[in-house]
Amino acid sequence: MTTFSDLLRRELARDPGRPLVTFYDHASGERTELSVTTYANWVAKAASLLVEEHDLERGDALCVDLPAHWLGPVLLGAAWSAGLVVVGPEEAGTADAVVCGPATLPAHAARADDVPVLACALLPMGVRFAEPLPEGVHDVGVEIWGQPDAFTAWDPPAADDPALRGPGLDLTQAELWSAAAAGTLVTDGGRLLSAANPASPPEIATFTEPLARGGSLVLVAHPDPARLESTSADERVTDRDQSTRS
């Protein structure tokens, strides 16, 4: 498998109903679970939003500046479906579009006149912001719901397309998924418990490895050390990364 789209098609054909991303916020009590099918639907909607509504094209750079949240893997998948290269906030000033959350919105709102700035409220069910956004900023919770549940790129990404760029990182789609398949964070078919941010280039393997190895991610935001053991047991976790070990 050399592109994200190849991998997602494989998982949809293999076991579409299995959990892929299970998200906990220990501070708010939220639990959200995305099966492979539900994840694919969200990816399709997000990719259509980026391409059809905001005119991003294969090879463009998307800055994903989100905290640990289930929308992070969704936006990563959307970018790779469309052939975009994902960059971190350190390259936001040169990115062709930015996706951010409430905490980092003030840092990006000033660019809304020049590039698409899409903000995620990070509320349950991906709903809209309760308050008006700065002029020119787009609310993902408003715009994403009208997008289709399927996406086919008119200019499909190839294995040698850039996929990820960051400090010490410059990976094509093929290199990204080859590294993920050879990774050691999760066993084949296993469930990885992590409190790391999968949308951050240094920690992106917490999502790419479970996908490449037929496993799943249990992602915890604002982890409560006293609750990690019960979360691990409830979700039948098989592997834990350093962020969830005392």
**Mean pLDDT of the region 101-111:** 97
* pLDDT of amino acid 109: 97
* pLDDT of amino acid 167: 82
Residue 48 in contact with residue 149, Cβ under 8 Å?
Answer: no
| Phi, psi at 177, each rounded to 5° | -80, -25
Q: pLDDT at residue 246 above 70?
A: no
Residue 158 in contact with residue 183, Cβ under 8 Å?
Answer: no
- Residues 6 or more apart whose Cβ sits within 8 Å of residue 13: none
- The ranges assigned to domains in the chain are 4-244
Q: Per-residue pLDDT tens for 5-59?
A: 999 999 999 999 999 999 999 999 999 999 999 999 999 999 999 999 999 999 9
* pLDDT of amino acid 168: 83
Q: pLDDT at residue 245 above 70?
A: yes
What torsion do the CA atoms of 228, 234, 236, 238 make, to the nearest 10 degrees? 0
Q: What percent of the chain has pLDDT over 90?
A: 96
Could you confirm whether domain 4-244 is CATH 3.40.50.12780? yes
Q: How far apart are CA 241 and CA 198, in angstroms?
A: 12
Residue 177 in contact with residue 208, Cβ under 8 Å?
Answer: yes
Q: How far apart are CA 66 and CA 103, in angstroms?
A: 9
* pLDDT of amino acid 93: 94
This prediction's pTM: 0.97
> Residue 241 — left, alpha, or beta (φ > 0 → left; ψ -120 to 50 → alpha)?
beta
User: What average pLDDT is seen over the chain?
Assistant: 96
Q: Per-residue pLDDT tens for 161-190?
A: 999 998 888 999 999 999 999 999 999 999
* pLDDT of amino acid 189: 96
Q: pLDDT at residue 120 above 80?
A: yes
* pLDDT of amino acid 202: 86
**What is the greatest pairwise CA distance in the chain?**
48
**Mean pLDDT of the region 153-160:** 95
